[in-house]
Chains A and B, each alone.
Chain A
Amino acid sequence: DQQVKQNSPSLSVQEGRISILNCDYTNSMFDYFLWYKKYPAEGPTFLISISSIKDKNEDGRFTVFLNKSAKHLSLHIVPSQPGDSAVYFCAARVIWGDMRFGAGTRLTVKP
């Protein structure tokens, strides 16, 4: 049972534009959500997170939005840069538990 879903396997945007990556979850007990960025043959690196008591968290060019009623979160990257090209994983956890990951979305930012 896949509790965290990223339905878009890939996304291509032009440099300078906004990138929006989406993630849906099914477990209403999740209360902490994270985004990771991964390059090939490397481990994922933490990007940004949000707890269930918030609906938005911003860190520089990265903003994560959480819609609890829809069980949906999104990552916005503005402006997108070629160095942002990577696979982005959405993850979720309950207050006491392991972390569950989505399948990832490959972002390509074209110069």
Chain B
Amino acid sequence: DGGITQSPKYLFRKEGQNVTLSCEQNLNHDAMYWYRQDPGQGLRLIYYSQIVNDFQKGDIAEGYSVSREKKESFPLTVTSAQKNPTAFYLCASSISLRGYTEAFFGQGTRLTVV
């Protein structure tokens, strides 16, 4: 059945290392998003993409990078430049960036820097 898959569910990283979070969708959605959630805070937008090979920075893009080589996939790399990477990361997709459409979310990846 259709949905968004994020992997892994839990991820541990040593300080100074880059790590890539996977996000795959089989909903045939054009738009994809990455959000970060910290305790007591809402979802903050990291990056979003409206089409293959195109992506835009969100509010907190510093220390992160993304790629959109395939419609189904939107991986997020947390680089060593991200000062406080420990958080819950959520990937989402929607039919498009335009119009009255809702976004569907994956189950999230909890990243912990050790």
Contacts and interface: CB of A to CB of B under 8 A. Distances in A.
What's the dominant secondary structure at chain B's contact region?
A: strand
Contacts of A44: 43, 90, 105
Nearest to A51: B100
A43 B90 contact: yes
A60 interface: no
B106 A43 contact: yes
Given A98-B58, A99-B33, A103-B41, A46 B97 contact: no
A32 B106 CA distance: 22
Contacts of B2: none
A43 B41 contact: no
A6 B41 CA distance: 10
A22 B6 CA distance: 30
Interface string B21-58: 00000000000010100001111110010000000101
A41 B43 contact: no
Interface in A70-106: 89, 95-104
B102 A97 contact: no
Nearest to A50: B100
Contacts of A46: 102-104
